[in-house]
Amino acid sequence: MKSVDPKENNIRSASNVSATETVRNSNNHSRIENTFCIRQVIDTLFCQLSKHIQVAENESLAELVIKVPEVSQIWLALSVLLEQHWKAATRLIDARKIVLVDYEKGQWKCTIDTGSFDINAKIWHCSCTQFVFSAFGKPLELINDSTVQFGFWGGRCLALHPPVCQHLVAACIYSVCYPKLKEQHNANRNEEHERSTEPPP
């Protein structure tokens, strides 16, 4: 019987371990890419919608959705991907229940019959029970890869699938579909500041 060199066994063992680690790392990377994909898709759709709206300054959102095929397709895709919250979010906007508090910080407030909720689209948080249930109702798989670039959708949340509620969706739609919102908000704040500094009559 042919004897086996111990060194050869060690080399084979090391190779097997290396191959196993390579496959494991590859699987982990693939899993992150696959599960993170839907977040990237939603983010890309919102960014594309924003670009179309910024270019067409003189047309309303309704006109763009009806007249421009690309915009209607993006709008439809977002409404399908966010089906659970989309209709409720658009109703909040139509009813003017959501108000911008601070554009730079991404802070909003939504006041409805059941209460008032604080929203932060940059940190990605809402004080409503719907968001709490979405965030803590099931374990969240977090992204530990420091090279991952976060976009508009999900803010600074580290979850592969960020928790969501109708208020956050409404804030995202509002901020994307009304590009002059920042200018109007700053103008209103300046006007309020001027009023507060005016000397009494």
Report pLDDT digits (tens) over 89-111. 999 988 989 988 888 888 999 99
pLDDT at 188: 57
Contacts (Cβ under 8 Å, ≥6 apart) of 144: none
pLDDT band with cut points at 50, 70 and 90 for residue 18? very low
Half-sphere exposure of 183 (CA within 13 A, CB side): 3
185 Cβ contact partners less than 8 Å away, ≥ 6 residues apart: 100, 103
Indicate whether 16 pLDDT > 80: no
pTM for this entry:
0.71
Range with the largest mean pLDDT of 7-11, 83-87, 112-116, 141-145: 83-87
Label each residue of the chain as H, E or C. Answer: CCCCCHHHHHHHHHHHHHHHHHHHHHHHHHHHHHHHHHHHHHHHHHHHHHHHHHHCCCCCHHHHHHHCHHHHHHHHHHHHHCHHHHHHHHHHHHCCCEEEEECCCCEEEEEECCEEEEEECCCCEECCHHHHHHHHCCCCCECCCCCCCCCCCCCCCCECCCCCCHHHHHHHHHHHHCCCHHHHHHHHHHHHHHHHHCCCC
CA–CA distance from 67 to each of 52, 56, 70, 87, 173 (Å)?
12, 11, 9, 21, 19
Q: What's residue 160's pLDDT? A: 81
- Residue 32, pLDDT above cutoff 90: no
- pLDDT band at 74; cut points 50, 70, 90: very high
The predicted pLDDT at position 28 comes to: 42
Paired residues of 116 in beta bridges: 111
Does 19 score more than 60 pLDDT?
Answer: no
pLDDT at 25 over 90: no
Q: What is the mean pLDDT of the chain?
A: 77
Higher-confidence residue: 191 or 29?
A: 191
Q: Give strand pairing partners of 126.
A: 119
- On the question of pLDDT at 86 being above 90, the answer is yes
